[in-house]
Amino acid sequence: MNFRRPITAILFQNIVVKVRSFSSTTSSTTSATKSKAFLPKYYDDIPLAKKAMGYIDASPDPFHAVQSSIDMFLKPAGFQEIQDDCNFQDCVKPAGKYYFTRNKSTIVAFAVGKRYQQGNGFKIIGGHTDSPNVKVKTRSKKRSSATGCIQLSVECYGGGLWHTWFDRDLGISGRALVRNADTGKIDQKLIKIDRPIVRISNLAIHLQSPKQREAFQINKEDHLSPILAMEAEKALTTGKNNDGTDANASTNNDKDGWVEHQEPLLLDLIASELNMQSKSSIVDFELNLFDMQKSSLGGMQSEFIHSSRLDNLASCFLALEALVQHCTIPATTANNNETSLLIDEDDSISMIALFDHEEIGSSSATGAGSPIISEAVKRISSALMTANNSNDSNFMEDMYGITLQNSFVVSSDQAHAIHPNYSSKHESGHAPRMNEGMVIKRNSNQRYATNGITGFIIREIAKKAKLNKPVQEFMVRNDCACGSTIGPIMSANTGMRAIDLGCPQLSMHSIRETMGVADLTHGLALFQGFFKYFQEVDSSINKE
């Protein structure tokens, strides 16, 4: 069939070529400089966007998000791990950079300013490592002898747009607990089966009634179970019976109420992924499904990122990047011509806290509702106490109160951009757009923690950091329920001032979400500005 190639296709090809040439020839500046005037509008945003995409792709669940944060950001920047049983007094020092984890699904990292003084505040950027997903149930086995399919039993975590999980290439990831044959101890192992091992299939349109098609509804128990294999395949793999009884039946000695209820093929997969001799060493797991499709740049000018888990790994990425840059970027050149870093001139503490369990309300030992931050602030500030009366508990309590009052939480979570097909869902005065910058969220009913002072502080920081665009504002329509996030929870738990903000995006809680590349650039500049200018802006506010 003959057809004329549309002009948009030709334009698009040019853009792709230029973007590609940037990634492969970042050092060849001659041609890049010459053609700069003709580059796509978002050309400068692409490298940061690609870095974020790499982080998100490597982090299909909270355990991997924590590990990626350590491997890709904190370790290369020289952050030291503080073990759970460590005495903070022994290890936390001015100019030091540290991190610790909880349950390996929540991570806190902080850098102590070289000029830190007792009573000075904590500048905290909070985010969350979890996203709505489909998790494998405690008893994973789900037999379907009538259909010949081997499925997995699953549950829904958080409030996902579950219909988007159908007909996707799904991998399995998470954590397995494995008995170490040498030590007898239980090791925690990360698992990432990075191939389309399971699938949740749609029902053919021909088999749906008009009412069902219109409703576009699913039953979360009946319709979400993914198919792992066919029975015939199971027989081939295991060489055991195929008659509906357990092909890999455990002996009575092996039974512990858990292992005999697991799908043997799933245990085989985990064992092979971990190069284990025997699957009998696997004693438990926490697994979820994830979309195999990597994140991508989209739109006419590569102005969008399409990806899973933008809510809220985009925030985690920005927080990590900002903290690392605060510790590595030069501030000024000192008199002796030695370069001074931003952290060298900082008299407070810069911290990021990336929590698990936000999507289910944050009330857990690892969520933002836990004592993790209040305990950390107490332990870190008392470890840095220099006064002679640091043994006086009343004095310590007083200093802790002062520290909290001098501290500030930026709770970063993705925001709702206005959707062109559903524009009436936004109130027109508070309708953020993608690629127009970070969004401050406000709600007088305290679904968000922002108030006049905290909103002003961030706008003022944005000015000092010379952001190319002012921050945007979001308030929900009066006839619409308002979401919430970790800001009010952290604020209520610690007594710290807080603001809720985030990058605008579409399709929140879909398996594939969309955000603007320029908003990452804007968000990073704002977070860097927060670590750099907070004290200065805060001290300009009359507290009387």
Q: Which of 130, 286, 311, 500 binds Zn ion (CB under 5 A)?
A: 311
Place of tokens 């001098």: 406
User: Of the ranges 182-190, 218-226, 411-419, 433-441, which one interacts with Zn ion (CB under 5 A)?
Assistant: 411-419
A 10 A CB-CB count for 31 gives 10
User: At its nearest, how many Å lie between Zn ion and the CB of residue 444?
Assistant: 21
Instruction: Find the binder of Zn ion among 120, 312, 370, 491 (CB under 5 A).
Output: 312
Q: Measured from the CB of residue 484, what is the shortest distance to Zn ion in angstroms?
A: 10
Cβ closer to Zn ion: 413 or 500? 413
DSSP string, 207-249: GS-HHHHHHT---TTTS-PPEEEEHHHHHHHH-S--SSS-TTP
d(CA 471, CA 442) in angstroms, rounded, equals 13
Q: How many Å apart are CA 85 and CA 83, to the nearest integer?
A: 6
Does 538 participate in binding Zn ion (rule CB under 5 A)?
Answer: no
User: How far is residue 430 CA from its own chain's centroid?
Assistant: 25
Nearer to Zn ion (CB atom), residue 412 or residue 472: 412
Choice between 159 and 401, CB closer to Zn ion: 159
Give me the 367-406 binding string for Zn ion, x by CB under 5 A, dash otherwise: ----------------------------------------
**Cα atoms in the 13 Å half-sphere on the side-chain side of 504:** 24
Strands 339-341 and 330-333: antiparallel
Pick the closer one to Zn ion by CB: 64 or 326: 64
Minimum CB separation from Zn ion for residue 507, in Å?
A: 13
How far does Cα 330 stand from its chain's mean position? 28
CB atoms under 10 Å from CB of 455, counted, come to 18
Per rule CB under 5 A, is residue 307 in the interface with Zn ion? no
Q: Which is nearer to Zn ion, 248 or 362 (CB)?
A: 362
Rounded Cα distance, 81 and 99, in Å: 5
B/e letters for 386-404, b = 16+ CB within 10 Å, e = fewer, are: eeeebeeeeebeebbeebb
Min separation Cβ 414 and Zn ion, Å? 5
Contact region with Zn ion (CB under 5 A), list: 83-91, 182-190, 192-200, 305-313 = 305-313
Q: Which is nearer to Zn ion, 126 or 226 (CB)?
A: 126
CB of 210 to Zn ion, least distance (A): 36
**To the nearest whole angstrom, how small is the minimum distance from the Cβ of residue 236 to Zn ion?**
43
Piece of 65-73, 306-314, 333-341, 518-526 that binds Zn ion (CB under 5 A)? 306-314
Question: Taking the chain, what is the end-to-end CA distance rounded to the nearest angstrom?
Answer: 77
Using the structure block, give the residue that is written with the tokens 């910058």.
437
Whole-number minimum distance, CB 62 to Zn ion, in Å?
12
- Is 413 a residue that touches Zn ion (CB under 5 A)? yes
* Residue 375 and residue 464 in contact, taking contact as beta carbons nearer than 8 Å: no
Site for Zn ion in 142-171 (CB under 5 A): none
Residues found near Zn ion in the complex (CB under 5 A): 311-312, 413
